[in-house]
């Protein structure tokens, strides 16, 4: 005659019960862990395999195995499956290394029209060529296994991450010159606060923002409507009216932005901007510009105009090649694009020009004095 299963005593601390309760009510834990936590909590309240099974809709033997694991390994450890030996891997370490090495090469180097591998193409190539390379275990390789192997090695041959090669041999020297100008700005600011007399100097960070598109809508924008749609609605179609270039320089001592909006940004437009600066500052003020190596900044026309000005009126400090991040005006352009130019729609280029200049005027009503701090101590 079969004997009734004897209830076993499961002793748990208050801390273990609290952790099991948190897991039992969790929405992020796996269903298996949640179910086993509920089994142990229910058994703790009513130590009967059959009663707990009836309550939770599980077989009483399942409850018994869970409780026995809790007795053997602890209540929290019983929530997870015991490690199993598993099947011996069929793909050898040498074959994995061969596959990863293959993924680190370009597909075009193996005669394919593709520039980079796709996981499907890599799996097909491995199936066709691995046996000849001495890796027969890859003869039936599938795409999913390729993804798993490459994921474990953190190799993504189907993606490209761009970087910037430093091509200016004098990068450090030119960067130091720019930092020296920023250091001078810092000293001039301190002198202004202490009200000490200082030489009349204006430091302007200058650049161009080309290709600002004048785009018109083909249908009126629909305003937000509570309970219907929370955002402005805009028709996908649009009409192009051309592009404009914003030529701007920010005075690093006062925060004032000097700007022109023109169709292009050639030497004649740059000279026009220099004339704007020339008229904005007293004749005794030295104007120092931080700018990049655009051809208009060093052209014959620009140099010819500079010769007509008094000596030391303009002084240029050029950022190194691919070093535009050293120019503070780039941060202003980024902020201007994210605020004034974001989602802008106009009926003509003339309207776009007026909107841009209105945005510049708005900035100048509340000027922000920008400060450079990166590696500035090295310029001391």
DSSP string across 257-309: EEEEEES--SHHHHHHHHHHHHHHS-TT-EEEEEE---GGGSSHHHHHHHHTS
Looking at the whole model, is its pTM more than 0.75?
no
Dihedral sign for Cα atoms in the order 71, 74, 78, 80: negative
Burial classification of residue 352, based on how many CB atoms lie within 10 Å of its CB (0-12 exposed, 13-18 middle, 19 or more buried)? buried
Dihedral sign for Cα atoms in the order 192, 198, 200, 205: negative
3-state class (DSSP) for residue 214: strand
State the Cα–Cα distance between residues 41 and 47, nearest whole angstrom: 10
- Per-residue pLDDT of the chain (380 residues), as tens digits, is 444 455 678 888 899 999 999 999 998 999 999 999 999 999 988 888 989 989 999 998 999 999 999 998 898 988 988 877 777 778 999 999 999 999 999 999 999 999 999 999 999 999 999 999 999 999 999 999 999 999 999 999 999 999 888 788 899 999 999 999 999 999 898 888 877 777 799 999 999 999 999 999 999 999 999 988 899 999 999 999 999 999 999 999 999 999 999 999 999 999 999 999 999 999 999 999 999 999 999 999 999 999 999 999 999 999 999 888 999 999 999 999 999 999 999 999 999 999 999 999 999 999 999 888 888 877 65
State the Cα–Cα distance between residues 332 and 248, nearest whole angstrom: 9
């Amino acid at each position: 005659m079969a004997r009734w299963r004897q209830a076993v005593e499961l002793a748990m601390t208050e801390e273990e019960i609290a952790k099991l309760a948190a897991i039992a009510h969790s929405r992020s834990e796996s269903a298996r862990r949640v179910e086993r936590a509920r089994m142990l909590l229910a058994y703790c309240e009513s130590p009967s395999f059959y009663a707990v099974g009836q309550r939770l809709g599980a077989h009483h033997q399942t409850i018994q195995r869970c409780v026995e694991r809790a007795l053997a390994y602890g209540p929290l450890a019983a929530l997870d499956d015991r490690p199993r030996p598993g099947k011996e891997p069929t793909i050898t370490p040498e074959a994995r290394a061969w596959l990863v090495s293959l993924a680190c090469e370009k597909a075009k180097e193996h005669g394919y029209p593709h520039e980079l591998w796709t996981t499907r193409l890599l799996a097909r190539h491995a199936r066709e060529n691995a046996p000849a390379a001495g890796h027969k275990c890859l003869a039936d390789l599938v795409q999913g296994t390729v993804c798993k192997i490459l994921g474990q090695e953190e190799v993504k041959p189907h993606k490209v991450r761009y970087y910037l090669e430093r091509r200016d041999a004098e990068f450090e020297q030119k960067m130091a010159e720019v930092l020296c100008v920023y250091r001078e700005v810092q000293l001039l600011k301190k002198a202004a606060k202490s009200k000490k007399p200082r030489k009349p100097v204006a430091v302007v960070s200058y650049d161009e923002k080309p290709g600002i598109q004048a785009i018109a809508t083909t249908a009126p924008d629909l305003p937000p409507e509570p309970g219907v749609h929370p955002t402005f609605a805009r028709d996908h179609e649009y009409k192009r009216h051309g592009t404009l270039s914003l030529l701007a320089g920010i005075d690093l001592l006062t925060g004032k932005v000097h700007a022109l909006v023109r169709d292009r940004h050639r030497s004649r437009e740059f000279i026009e901007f220099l004339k704007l600066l020339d008229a904005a500052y007293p004749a005794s003020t030295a104007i120092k510009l931080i700018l990049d190596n655009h051809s208009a900044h060093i052209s014959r026309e620009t140099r010819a105009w500079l010769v007509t000005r008094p000596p030391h009126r303009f002084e240029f400090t050029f950022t190194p090649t691919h070093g535009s991040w050293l120019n503070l005006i780039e941060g202003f352009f980024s902020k201007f694009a994210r605020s004034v130019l974001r989602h802008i729609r106009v009926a003509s280029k003339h309207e776009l020009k007026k909107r841009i200049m209105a945005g510049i005027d708005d900035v100048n009503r509340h000027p922000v004095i920008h400060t450079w701090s990166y590696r500035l101590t090295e310029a001391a």
